Amino acid sequence: MYMQNDHDLNPYLLLTPGPLSTTGSVKEAMLKDWCTWDAEYNELVQTIRSKLVQLATNKPDCYTTVLMQGSGTFSVESVIGTVIPPEGKLLVLTNGAYGKRMVEIAGRIAINTVEISCGEVGFPDLKNLEETLQFDKDITHVAVVHCETTTGMLNPIREIGEIVTRYEKTYIVDAMSSFGGIPMDVDELSIDYLVSSANKCIQGVPGFGIIVAKKDELASCKNQARSLSLDLYDQWETMEQKHGKWRYTSPTHTVHAFYRALQELEEEGGAAQRFERYQTNQRTLVEEMRKLGFQTLLPDDQQSPVITSFHYPDLQLFDFQSFYRRLKEEGFVIYPGKVTDHETFRVGNIGTITPDDMKAFAEAVKKHQYWMTEMVR
């Protein structure tokens, strides 16, 4: 059963890729205080970890879940900084800001890294990937972002995984904005480490990240971490040996909210049903916006159901900040563009929103569009 957004607690809808609008029951879960040492709380952590593995794969015995304090980027850095040995080399496929961020993380902690950049609106070059792996034998790990929210592009992680597996490399996927909202099986996709966040498609609130890891891979990473607080292996070992205990203070309120969000994901019908709703949201949004003359940045076959980038309208006096402010007054918050060479804004399609919300948003844009037209005249 889909849990409707509580508009009394939300003066506006967050049409963003996370944080996003959550249900009233998720918010309510944060109204109590919890102790990090309490056995009941740690059992809840263990339940969450088990549910996440089951969400990620049909072979749960081969995988484990580690929860890591902080934003999703903290978890990405914990993986990159822990699983790549001193003599290792990382290849990152990039076509947006979040792939670039992985390159920057690796550079900050002195990991030997090669980047295959396809530009901000380019599709990953699989031929270049294969040729690079064929000739550069020093590469040990390959990383890519699944849903690149810079543009909204959905990258071909299955095809990339097939190449990575063929060359026997370790595969890291940043599924920050897709896990829980797009059906996937990490074992079928040959993913060794998948990274996501509490406040994305599972529809929790910010506070911690999620790493789904192949047990055999993670077990070989002891004493490799380049950070104390972001030591993925030590975090995993502590959670395993102390039955859900975090090494350092955990975001207890966020954890309880996340547990409720996981229950609501199951009530909705799992990732497959949530994907259907998100996809319908996205298609409805695009259909309504195209009626108003707006053009999408990406072709439909490369577009994810998570977030959609639109070109600025062809109006000389269009001002994004004014556009943003007026839409917020109408009850909708959107994202500015993040693409360097195109003037765009972005609209998120995930969270506790429905196709009717997308239609209402388009009506608000239409109302504002009349105002912009008057300005141009």
CATH code at position 130: 3.40.640.10
For residues 172 and 252, membership in a common domain is answered with yes
What's the mean pLDDT when you consider all of the chain? 93
- Region 349-377 average pLDDT: 81
Domain count, the chain: 2
- Region 322-339 average pLDDT: 92
* Residue of 340, 349, 344, 343 whose CA lies nearest to 122: 340
Tokens 């071909």 correspond to: 156
Domain boundary among the residues 266, 301, 328 is at 266
pLDDT digits (tens, 9 = 90+) for 288-306: 999 999 999 999 999 999 9
Could you give the strand order of the β-sheet that contains 344-348, starting from the edge strand earlier in sequence? 307-311, 344-348, 335-336
The pTM assigned to this predicted structure is 0.94
At 319 the pLDDT is 86
> What is the rounded distance in angstroms from the CA atom of residue 159 to the CA atom of residue 46?
33
For residues 231 and 280, membership in a common domain is answered with no
- Identify whether the C-beta of residue 134 lies closer than 8 Å to the C-beta of residue 105: no
Paired with 114 in beta bridges are: 91
Q: At residue 377, does pLDDT exceed 50?
A: no
**Predicted confidence band of residue 229 (pLDDT cuts 50, 70, 90):** very high
Domain that holds residue 279: 13-21+270-376
For residues 255 and 301, membership in a common domain is answered with no
Q: What percent of the chain has pLDDT over 90?
A: 88
**220 against 322, higher pLDDT:** 220
> What is the rounded distance in angstroms from the CA atom of residue 77 to the CA atom of residue 319?
36
Q: At residue 11, does pLDDT exceed 70?
A: yes
**Predicted confidence band of residue 376 (pLDDT cuts 50, 70, 90):** very low
Tokens 């060794």 correspond to: 192
At 2 the pLDDT is 47
Q: Tell me whether residue 8 is in a domain.
A: no
pLDDT digits (tens, 9 = 90+) for 30-39: 999 989 989 9
For residues 202 and 302, membership in a common domain is answered with no
State the SS3 of 248-265: CCCCHHHHHHHHHHHHHH
At 17 the pLDDT is 87
Q: Tell me whether residue 178 is in a domain.
A: yes
Q: Which of 96-110, 159-173, 313-327, 351-365 has the lowest mean pLDDT?
A: 313-327
For residues 324 and 249, membership in a common domain is answered with no
